[in-house]
Amino acid sequence: MIMIIILFFLFIFGYEWAYLKKKSRKRRTFWIVFCIMGMSFSYCIATIVFKNMPSPNTLIQFLFTPIQQKILGKVD
């Protein structure tokens, strides 16, 4: 699975590099695009390596379930 992710990111790295070069974008754009790509890559790998990573759903449920239960009562 990790190999597939690495291959995918290698492909999009090359693709976006060619796109930005062709459009002669500023150095700043290169930095932003590849930093976001780096973060995206890290997140994808982290979801594989750390299986029990907390998900945003847990936070949303923690914040909003009590409010919803107060409004609606317990719906089973």
Partner 1 sequence: MKAAQISQNQLLLFLILYFYSTLVGFSASNLIHISQYDTILVLCISGLTAGIYAYFTIKLANRRPNEFFFHYGKDIFPQWIHILFMGFYFFSFLHTSAFVLREYEDFIVQTYLGGTPNWAVGGLLGMVVAVTARSGIQTLFRTAQGLFFLILIADVSNTIFIGKELKWDRWMAFITNHSGHGIFAGTYTTIPFFGEVIVLVFIFPYLTQKNKTLKTVFWAIVLGLLLIIVNFVFLLLLFGPNLASHITYPMLEMVRYIRIADFIENLDPFLISIWSTTVYLKISLLFFLSVQILAQFFRLKDHRPLTFSLAAVMVALSLQMSGGSAALTSFYTNSWATYSYFIEGIPILYLLMDTLKRFIKKRSAKNNKGM
Q: How far is the CB of 2 from partner 1 (least distance, A)?
A: 12
CA–CA separation, 15 vs 21, rounded Å? 10
Q: How far is the CB of 5 from partner 1 (least distance, A)?
A: 8
Q: Any idea what DSSP says for residue 76?
A: -
Q: Any idea what DSSP says for residue 51?
A: T
CA–CA separation, 4 vs 25, rounded Å? 29
Which chain residues interact with partner 1 by CB under 8 A? 1, 5, 8-9, 12, 15-16, 19-20, 23, 25, 29, 32-33, 36-37, 39-41, 43-44, 47, 53, 55-57, 60-61, 63-65, 67-69, 71-73, 75
